[in-house]
Chains A and B, each alone.
Chain A
Amino acid sequence: MKRSILMFCLALTSLASCSSTDDSDKNTSDGFDRTALLTYTADQRIIPIFKDLQAELTLLESTRAAFENNPNSAQLEQLSAAWLSAYKVWQHLQMYNLGQAATTSLDAERGFRTYFNRYPVDQQRIEELVAAGDYDFEAIPTYNAQGFPGLDFLLHGTSTGDAQAIDKFTSNTLAANYQQYLKNLVAHMQQVNTRLLNDWQNEYRATFINNTQNGQDGSFNQMANDFVFFYEKGFRAEKFGIPAGVFSNQPLPDRVEGLYKKDVSKDLALAALDAIENAFNGKAYQQETEGPAFKQYLEFLDRNDLVQSINQQFEDSREAINQLDDNFYLQVQNNNSQMTQTYDVIQAAVPKLKVDMKQALDFSIDYQDSDGD
């Protein structure tokens, strides 16, 4: 018995000593620093984006207050501009459905975007809620009547019986209710964003950074999953695939993002693509510097081939999107084949992210728990 233990130790040491001679790889330094990646993502991307959205929403609120005092079309235009500017910032945030954001609404899949960007909204539902004057934006019946798409309808859509968008705040018998709904909706978005930003700054940042474990609940794993999910669902499917009818028999033009303003869907999609590219390449928010992110992690693993291929896909997508009409509602109706071709270009990156990048970084896409071989 003693002899066999001795033999075993000998065997182990000989194995270790002979195998260390072929120690010729480049990665002899420490492993990839995930704490640094998470810290950088929190401090240079997520928190600054939350702050920027906070500033945008504050501006939106002051423009709204001015419009309430002076409901004319010039004020409405300013409000619309503030809306679009905030909506574009939102595109950068949507992929970070982490921490409290993931659980802040009762919709487990959408998380915090329930309160910001669930579309299409239900016009009839909004009109009912306005008429009732009694609603809670955290209750399920309001989920398809709020966020930026809800504002889109209020600022650009025409209510039943009205002639134009502004009428609902002026001539409509429920004008006061509409003003109140607009006010409450903006206030609620501010409130949710403040809540999440505070949590990031006070509590969640530390949790996020320290959670370097490699399980489904690890921060990197969650972030990678959210990133891929945003590309596949929030970007590819919702902004392009669904309106182009690739999942249905006919095109569905009324599913475009920014349905009521109409000429902004391309702008919003391009902002989302910027967000995706920047997140992948680790660009600090609104700056030119780069820090540790997916790209750097892949490079660390000697997968420059994959980095190049993914960035090339992003460029191809941008080129294809640039060819489209500003107004996807029109694009789908007039030349849907160009829309589906663009979808195909965007689609081509999905296997790169979901199969190749997932394999290289070995994070688990939220699969069920079970035994392996």
Chain B
Amino acid sequence: MRNSLSSYLQQQTSAAPLAVFRIGFGLMMFYSILRFAFKGWIEQLYIAPQFYFPYYGFEWIKPLGTYTYLLFALCGLSAFLVAIGYKYRLTILVFFLSFSYIELMDKTNYLNHYYFISVLSFLMLFLPANAYFSVDAYQRKYHYPKIPRWTIDSIKLLLGMVYFYAGLAKINSDWLLKAMPLKIWLPSKYDLPLIGESLMHKEWFHYAMSWSGMLYDLAIPFLLLYRKTRWLAFILVLVFHIFTRVLFPIGMFPYIMIVSTLIFFDAQLHEKILNGFRRFTRAFKNKTKALSYPLHTSVKQKISYSILVVFFAWQLLFPWRYLLYPGELFWTEEGYRFSWRVMLMEKAGYAQFKIVNPQTQESFYVDNTRFLTPRQEKQMSFQPDFILDYAHFLGDYYKAKGMPAVEVYVDCFVALNGRLSKRYIDPKLNLYPIKDTFKHKDWILPLDDEIKGL
């Protein structure tokens, strides 16, 4: 066992796939940041709001006012430098830190694929992605045509886990037996050419999409790994992601996944892609020496291995933490995020907050639009941790305005996957003294329905 592990760690493979991956990743991140800026989202999401919803334990991470633009500039620049492989170890670190900081500023904007980028860039901190076809190699006048095989395998493992866990999450009665939420989402895409009026409202189509989506997610890592099915798998990847791109506003994510899955292909394909790039970089043609990758196991290397083992163990276990909470996961969302649960719910809510002065019993309702952006209000109205954060914000706000004592109540209704909306939180419960913890929030009223499955 020990021997086979160490011999696995000694195995080498072509560095081309990792180089292509680095270039693709860097360029797409660079483009994503530009796109984000040009759409005006920096201002809209991180400058304009009066209040930001922090992640538990990361309350110290806040937007930086106008310096937020600088943060985005740094993130975009580092992505570009990663792409060209310039001072890679430093620039991927800067990218990881700046990107993660941006994502932690306001959980309103949480997306699984942003988390995926953070996780992936963390993994890339430990990979020799600049070994080959990089400015670093050009400058130091040598490159490594071969790198340890585990470095490429670790990316495959991460990608495979993301897909597989996304597939597991779809094994539930709402998704498979009720075709929810696709049954809600697809009919409203009636304006698509050809399939809009003919397919989108058909019940069998909703079920077909639900089941094939689940099977796709579970099977695709294996189809990509196995040489004989790899091209088929890649075509499926293309079809699946382009189709979801047409149907839903999911930004860059489909392209990122499509480019990422190229890593499963053999080195020949990547050499061909690099040859394409070489045509543009002919001016820089130089003679870098090919060295063989140093195989001695240094202490540094051992530390890296241990970190990665912990990292993957964490990735493997963290999505299951929801099992520790009572109640229905989709309803309470305790342990929902950071678990590759994608497109599983159509959930919406309506939350009306009441501020009470307990001394006079005077009360009034809060106009949420005074404090929150429409997007923040939407996200807040069906997620309990948001509701509590906002209740605290309101309590603090009115206290600061001179109310001697403040009580904050909410009347909140939430609808999940086409069920009639239900009251979500006891309207007679003062939320202001309640502190957020990782413990179960027993003040969420039950769904009174069971969603079976994982």
Q: Which positions in A face B, CB cutoff 8 Å?
A: 1, 4-5, 7-8, 11, 15-16, 19-20, 22-25, 27-28, 30-32, 34, 212-215, 218, 241, 245-249, 301, 305-306, 309, 347, 350-352, 354-356, 358-363, 365-373
Contact = CB atoms under 8 A, between A and B. Distances in A.
Nearest to A7: B232
A198 B365 CA distance: 41
Contact of B413 (A212, A305, A351, A373): A351
18 contacts: A8-B239, A22-B207, A24-B204, A25-B202, A27-B203, A31-B200, A32-B187, A212-B191, A218-B191, A355-B349, A359-B418, A362-B188, A367-B374, A368-B374, A370-B41, A370-B109, A371-B249, A372-B251
B73 interface: no
Contacts of B414: 355
B362 to A, nearest CB: 5
Given A19-B205, A22-B207, 6 more contacts: A8-B235, A25-B204, A218-B191, A351-B349, A361-B188, A373-B113
Question: What 9 pairs across the A-B complex have the smallest Cβ distances?
Answer: A371-B251, A25-B203, A351-B413, A362-B188, A19-B208, A4-B231, A31-B201, A351-B350, A213-B191
Given A31-B200, A214-B188, A218-B191, A4 B235 contact: yes
Nearest to A23: B204
Most chain B beta-carbon contacts within 10 A, residue among A30, A246, A350, A362: A362
Interface residues of B, number: 60
A352 B211 CA distance: 30
B207 A24 contact: no
B346 interface: yes
Interface of B: 39, 41, 44-45, 109, 111-113, 184-185, 187-191, 197, 200-205, 207-208, 211-212, 229, 231-232, 235-236, 239, 248-253, 342-343, 346, 348-350, 352, 362, 364-367, 373-375, 378, 413-415, 418, 420-421
A216 B406 CA distance: 39
B415 A19 contact: no
A103 to B, nearest CB: 20
A309 B420 contact: yes
Given A5-B235, A368-B44, A370-B109, A214 B184 contact: no
Contacts of A362: 184-185, 187-188, 346
A31 B190 contact: yes
Contacts of B205: 19
B375 A367 contact: yes
Contacts of B185: 362
Most chain B beta-carbon contacts within 10 A, residue among A241, A247, A356, A358: A356
Nearest to B239: A8
Contact of B212 (A15, A25, A32): A15
B187 to A, nearest CB: 7
A28 B413 contact: no
Contact of A373 (B41, B187, B343, B362): B343
Contact of A22 (B184, B204, B352): B204
Contact of B364 (A28, A245, A360, A372): A245
Contacts of A218: 191
Nearest to B201: A31
A370 B375 contact: yes
A373 B421 contact: no
B208 A369 contact: no
Contact of A15 (B45, B208, B248, B413): B208
Contacts of B202: 23, 25, 27-28
B204 A20 contact: yes
A309 B420 CA distance: 9
Most chain B beta-carbon contacts within 10 A, residue among A4, A309, A362, A371: A371
A31 B202 CA distance: 8
B431 to A, nearest CB: 19
A356 B420 contact: yes
A19 B201 contact: no
Nearest to B211: A19
